[in-house]
Structure 1
Amino acid sequence: MKAELSYMNWRDLDAHLVWIYSGAPVLQSGRFQSRDSSAWLMLQGELEIEGGAQTIGAGEWVFVPRKSHRRVFSSDAKIISVKFVLSWPDGRLLFEPSQVLSMPSVQCPKLERAVRALLKYVKKIQLEAGNAMHAQSLSLEEYLQSKQLFETWLMAYLEAMMALGMDAYLSRREDVRVVRAKRGLEQHPLHTPLDLRGIAGDVGLSLGHADTLFHQSYGQTMRAYYDARRYTAACHWLSRTQMPIKEIAFNLAFKDAATFSHWFKRHAQRAPRHYREWATQQIG
């Protein structure tokens, strides 16, 4: 069944490439869990899911759910890994399988053609750097070309999900005041304190009314939406820079490092220092 929304609603869908690489898996074995969407094309070797409950071989696509699961790649495994965002402002994915899905590549040849074209281009512009890709510099022309190639792959991914019987989750909102409030949260400088009453007032609503409408549209409060922005920035600075924790706290408008650490631990289940150590191990 064709999924239809207004153009305004579709604009809320965040769709972008996080990374792409080919070769041996970054992690040979362990529990896999991600906030984003992932797809792997097995080039050689095997992938075992949950202690042998599912075995996937060369020539198959693997679509990974966000929930934690254990996987083990064979020692000779080679893959093309695509990690991408395809989600709504409330955090729900457009497609969110409850279990690992697989499909022979021959059933959806456009998917493999598109991923190889994307991979070839990011190698050409030296953008293939796994989890560090988002921090690399490139020209506007290079960005737009890589975006176009990713969107071609995304169209083939859509066909694959439909062939696998996956239903799309559709997010609807109509109130223009909520859209303006969301824009205010997105544009607010992270290093300055957030005035939620001010943002609500700017769109002609009380804070309580604005928060109710925002939650109805996006599945979370305005504070939670803004905190997700801060959490993403904090994770980036902790994992990708040597910026002192005190400076990160200041850049996110916390009054001191202790308050930031307490807040971050509630979100990440790890203190900032421990998260930095963990993230360094995952990347390395």
Structure 2
Amino acid sequence: MTPRLLWASERKLSVESAQSMSITLDSDENSAWLILGGSAMVDDGNGPVTAGPGEWLIPPPKLRQQSFQGPLHFISVTFSAKWDSGQHLFPMNKTMLLEAGDCPRLEIEARRVVDAVASRVTMKSWYLGAHEVSFRDWLAFQEVLLGWMDCFAQVMEEQGVSTTIPDAADARFLEAQRILNDHNLDEKISVDDLAAAVGLSRRQLERLYQMEINCSPRVVFEKRRIQFARWALSRPDARIKEVAAELGFADISNFRRWFTRIQGVAPKAFAKWVR
């Protein structure tokens, strides 16, 4: 597993700018927001949870509604941490609300991450995937990210979220995952061909995926495509038509419908939000 820092920032937003960040988002990453002024709300299907000044709001990596009230001042850290099987290191299923005073080290480590990013990246976009960084900068990001994750893991364990290493996955599942990860994003995936490549029938492969990660091979591949789309749309010079073409969509309207169905928001609105 190689964790990735996706963004880290401390931001101050006006009432209007904060309201413009309200969005329905299908996220596959871990996020944590420390509210210093204003408020933030997340509804992940378990009811709304609102954080005010001096509180951490930690949403799960799933479909959620989120809204902000300004003037807003907050620290945000988002990262991806998954095992090779695709399972999340922190398998959260509901939003957490924590008093910052109960976990002071979390803010200290978050500020270390934010400072490392701010000193190395000109924030044309606050999504780090939109920036080219040197190997030494990448190492610096990994160093502060691991410090943050160590503290984050302690907080998660105190909240009852297990971070134990999962049992060894079936070798056929891991091989199927490797094939999916190597498959061109602009080409359709055949689950029948994938199953044959690992010596299983389609039904056996889908059953294996349900046992391992409670998800289908097709959904895994779609998540990889949507992650690329999110990264591509975060680039300051991104054009929706070009992003659609990179994913094999000849018709931009089909891309818009696909992205909106999975992500919960249109590509143009997402690009505006993430930048």
TM-score range, shorter chain: 0.7 to 0.9
Q: Which residue of structure 2 aligns with residue 28 of structure 1?
A: 18
2:38/2:68 contact within 8 Å kept: no
Q: Which residue of structure 2 aligns with residue 200 of structure 1?
A: 195
Return closer, same or farther for 1:155/1:201 CA change in 2, 3 Å cut-off.
same
Matched to 1:18, the amino acid is L
1:21/1:128 contact within 8 Å kept: no
Q: Which residue of structure 2 aligns with residue 38 of structure 1?
A: 31
Shift of 1:78: 2.6
CA distance in 2, matches of 1:129, 1:244: 18
Matched, 1:108 2:103: yes
Shift of 1:39: 1.5
**Number of aligned positions between the proteins:** 260
Matched, 1:16 2:4: yes
* Higher RCO, 1 vs 2 (CA within 8 Å, ≥6 residues apart): 2
Shift of 1:261: 4.7
Q: Which residue of structure 2 aligns with residue 47 of structure 1?
A: 39
For 1:44-83, what aligned pairs fall within 5 Å after superposition?
Answer: 45-47=37-39, 49=41, 56-58=52-54, 60-65=55-60, 67-73=64-70, 75=71, 77-83=72-78
Return closer, same or farther for 1:23/1:109 CA change in 2, 3 Å cut-off.
same
Shift of 1:209: 1.6
Identity of aligned residues (%): 22
1:23/1:78 contact within 8 Å kept: yes
For 1:1-284, what aligned pairs fall within 5 Å after superposition?
Answer: 11=1, 15-25=3-13, 27-29=17-19, 31=22, 33-34=24-25, 35=27, 36-43=29-36, 45-47=37-39, 49=41, 56-58=52-54, 60-65=55-60, 67-73=64-70, 75=71, 77-87=72-82, 94-96=90-92, 98-105=94-101, 107-126=102-121, 131-163=126-158, 165-168=159-162, 172=167, 174-240=169-235, 241-243=237-239, 245=241, 247-254=242-249, 256-257=251-252, 259-268=254-263, 275-283=266-274
Shift of 1:168: 2.7
Matched to 1:162, the amino acid is E
CA-to-aligned-CA distance 1:47-72 (integer Å, 9 cap, x gap): 3658x9856324x4332355325442
Deviates more, 1:166-175 or 1:144-153: 166-175
CA-to-aligned-CA distance 1:57-116 (integer Å, 9 cap, x gap): 24x43323553254424x2x43221122345666767242634402233x3232222222
2:130/2:234 contact within 8 Å kept: no
Q: Give the structure-2-normalised TM-score.
A: 0.77
CA distance in 2, matches of 1:46, 1:264: 30
SS in structure 2 of the partner of residue 28 of structure 1: helix
Return closer, same or farther for 1:32/1:151 CA change in 2, 3 Å cut-off.
farther
5+ residue gaps, structure 1, are 1-10
Deviates more, 1:207-216 or 1:221-230: 207-216
Shift of 1:182: 0.5
Matched to 2:231, the amino acid is H
2:51/2:57 contact within 8 Å kept: no
Matched to 1:104, the amino acid is A
SS in structure 1 of the partner of residue 189 of structure 2: coil
Structure number with greater Rg is 1
